[in-house]
Amino acid sequence: MRILVTGAGRAIGAATCTELSKAGHEVVATARDVSLLDELDVALRLPLDVTSDESVKAAVEAAGPLDGIINNAALGGTAPLETYPIDKFRAMHETNVVGTLRLIQAVVPAWRERGSGVIVIIGSVQGRVSAPLGGAYGASKFALEAMTESLHYELRHFGIRTHIIEPGFIAPGMKDTGELPRPAAYQGLYDEWEGADDTLNAEGRPGPEVVGQAIVDIFANEDSPLRIPVGADAELILGTRAQLGDAEFEAVMRATMGLTW
């Protein structure tokens, strides 16, 4: 299959390109800075800025007929919502949410006529369980969960599959929106949350190749589920969340992660 990957210059995007290529797929790797793609063994490297209509249109045309897309391009950022800069919040959502939809809208008409295609969206465990200091990022990933579910209902009739990957903590982290305020009033929360991260990932974070391998499995298995958690922490958190009410889940997570804030 011929598959386009956004945000392929590092981390999950680069690892996904590698795993798909190893599995025999023709990979079109894209990034804002195409020089970041030089080391990837792929069929084609293209510049792509998902926040630009013109860039998306040009990349889709240059890529040629596609069988699948991996919507991976994303920005992160950690700060209390009280002080989160609106311009950076907007920039994150323009990339993470609007950029994802922009690419989907560019490829679906041809796929609908053809009767096939695979959409994979890189979500996060934070798309179903939000976290302190992660409200801005979590909001973008919650939006992707809603989009994925709606796309599934809308497009399956046309033979188009839609899936969302829900990774836990993956090393290395993603690019963020730039330096964010770290208000002194919240320093205690920062300290506790960083310690909780260490507790949850005591055995180390998995590498991005686990996400790439999960995506390879999606293309190999037409019966793949809509939502696919990746990583032991994601499976633990989402599994626990599904079994408990709000108060019970909060109590368990506070106890597990040592949070008193």
Active site residue: 137, 153, 186, 190, which one? 137
- Sheet with 2-5: strands ordered across: 44-47, 26-31, 2-5, 68-71, 117-122, 160-167, 227-230
Tokens of 117: 């295609």
Q: How many CB atoms lie within 10 A of CB 241?
A: 17
The sign of the torsion formed by the CA atoms of 175, 193, 144, 120 equals positive
Q: Is 137 a catalytic residue?
A: yes
Closest CA to 163 of 215, 99, 98: 215
Rounded distance, CA 173 to CA 22, Å? 23
Q: Which residues are catalytic?
A: 137
